[in-house]
Chains A and B, each alone.
Chain A
């Protein structure tokens, strides 16, 4: 018994010493809304974290908390990191916005980076990616490949980022087939494989033969694979889960951004900003085009190249669902209009939940 006690004391002392002797120059910490094993949103952020570790080695130490619910727990989790000596904290879900701002006020020396939000401060930057660029491309592919002329869209929450994704998908589809139809199911979750799979089944039963999703699990694509239907991956390359069903995937690649920002912290040049980059900068990456005929792959690659050259998918003519004009021919929507989008383009078979 005595030796066990000794061992315990020794272990505790060792633990305390371990945390005190901190050799890294910078500690970068990450808060995830889902499990790192979701193979979607949080998984990709964690890939970014691992890339940071690989790049900087011993100079940077990282830590993360997964499955932190948006709500009262979020603030505690962020504050814990600030107290534990993190130099830069990445909070990777929209619902962490106000908790991030609140904690940042109390810890002016810590740098905060909030993904997908719109509030910044001296020590709070925001970052997001132009996912809608990828959605335009998959809209085109869907319109080319769909025999029914109907695609199903599994949507999470009616926030601007998701709405603009649906619209970009539809604009891409309409550029190929003006009569194309999109059916939307709102599942009100970012990650719930059961619910997402049910939504996919419902959309197939309603006549869609291609689905796409703005949720994080691989479940919808797995349903497509089982049923012999097609679909697109989300956030990560999901080809391993649906080798016959995935046409391509819109991959979020956070690694370049995370490495860049951690480097700036190391150099002492970090400043608050709002980053919103896309295909051109490599923050959004299209997975290899598979299960597609040659001409469709050519078309997708051409559009990808056009976007990388600076073309914006939200370029007029764009008509809203209610018939009013959103953008005249050749006019490009400004960033604010895209980032705050709360209307559908014409032709979407759904009412936007208001």
Chain B
């Protein structure tokens, strides 16, 4: 199979990032870790947005992924990074498959609000579970990767390398999918569902599939985030978290699988510096950024890179 330019670039950037990992300043590594985890989640948002759907409750799967990973560590004493990520992805996919039967029927604001409702149900459940630490959550410590025990600097690098690799692989898979026959139907559904149906494709099946894919990405992102951060709490499925994913999704645009990664990196960078340099008004800084992007770059950050294709 011949890879397209985006895929080659993805692999190259991923390899370079892993290679420079040891010489990056530590805070740069943690910034990249967090950004790429968000980026993986937003890959799913991007797929949904391409299909014409915005979920206000994507934190649900982000949280499920994190808790699934965390519970593997907490109860089954299997603190392996790969297992945690796999567990997170699988749990998110299973829940999304079930909820998808209902949600795939809805569009627009109904889809958005229903997904929000499900995420808040999980929030309520977690808040009431004292054994899981209620709102305080609990700490997670991944101690090995693929069975190889790691700690200290080695652990940090392993987590970073895994984050970058996952981000690259997820983006690569989504890119391949978007270029496939079925993947191209996403935008067609957004533009005109009826026509897609007349062409012989089942819109509902595709929406359901995309929903499961988006959830799986979120599960992976959540599990990886819990490994990087070392702590999980119900805040991960609270509505502002989902709002953040929508924010990054809009900031990035749906032009390329690179966009969510860049958008998340920009978002995290602005947020982190705003926290430090204007602790009283960091929310305003983010709001103004959003305003600027919407007014000047309605197609998101990625439209900056796409102008060359315009006639």
Are chains A and B native binding partners rather than an unrelated pairing?
A: no
